Amino acid sequence: MESLSATVYAVLMICSSACCVCGNTMLLLLVLLNKSLRTSDTWPLTCSFCLCDLALGVLVIPLGAHTSLLRPQGYPSEGALCQAAAFLFVLLQLASVHSLTWATVDKFTEVCFALSYTSVFTARRAWGVLAAVWTYCLLNAALPLLGFGSYSYSGGRYMCVPSFRSSCVGFNVLFLGLGIIVPILAMCGLYGYIVYVAKKQARRGTFVCNEQHCFYVPANNYLRSSIVLVATVVCLLVCWLPYIVMCFYESFTGRESPDPASAVATWLVLFTAALNPWINSMTQA
């Protein structure tokens, strides 16, 4: 039974890695090769979370598949490989989530504050935000290496990840609370307000004008956009909630979560790296 669950976990990881690499590579190529997609000064944010998710698909996810199939006993928690793998897991997840959050802020500003958008999100500010995001993520991921929190191998997850023992509650709250929960709630709130604005526009209709003529935008256009945004919020919550709940459960109770639940929760979190390019493509449409 244990070997079967390890095999299923490896298959899910391999499929996720393939989807992640394909989706993020395609989106990166589209952004870098198509100048019309780089009209916004915030396109570096899109490239940032694409690169993070691509690195997860190349470095972190395949290691989980390899461990579950060929080395289920794992790696020594104090070893350099385990510490480096956990560091990358935290760094890339944080950088991806925060870059995606700021890309959402960009979209929100463009929709809700169209007249002042170009003066708010300049290229200089976008690069400044990106530098602040990566500085924060690097510092956060380095804390367990400096003694605040710890990284260890988790047999249920077949990966080296942050330790969620009760002695590491401070780091866990920092990592999950400020690093993950706050950005996800911010994205959900911003998407929710955009849906609210779209609903109002759908009720009254809108005329969009260019240099030659004006045309009416049907209500169905706003409704379709709202459906995409709601689906995005649902995907984020479905993928992250099990992991967040399980980690807080382990931190505050001192008990280990069941291995199958840990494996599924970790896979869902990593699967967001494969979903993000499609989410971005749909919300930017």
Residue 215: the pLDDT is 47
- What are the distances in angstroms from CA 157 to CA 19, 63, 215? 20, 11, 54
Which pLDDT does position 86 carry in this prediction?
Answer: 92
pLDDT in tens, 132-165: 999 999 999 999 998 888 898 988 888 888 887 7
pLDDT of residue 93: 92
Which residues make beta-bridge pairs with 159? 154
Model pLDDT, residue 216? 47
Domains of the chain by start residue, with CATH = 2-284 (1.20.1070.10)
Cα(49)–Cα(237) distance, rounded to whole angstroms?
18
Residues 6+ apart with CB under 8 A from 21: 54, 57, 58
This prediction has a pTM of 0.84
- How far is it, in rounded angstroms, from Cα 90 to Cα 45? 18
* 68-71 CB contacts, 8 Å cutoff, 24+ apart: 68/6, 68/7, 68/9, 68/10, 68/13, 68/158, 69/6, 69/7, 69/10
81 vs 247: CA distance, rounded Å: 23
Computed from CA positions of residues 26, 31, 32, 34, in that sequence, does the dihedral angle turn out positive or negative?
A: positive
Amino acid at 264: V
Residues of the chain with pLDDT under 70: 1-2, 35-42, 114-115, 166-167, 198-229, 280-285
Write down the pLDDT at residue 142: 93
H or E, element range at 154:
strand 151-154
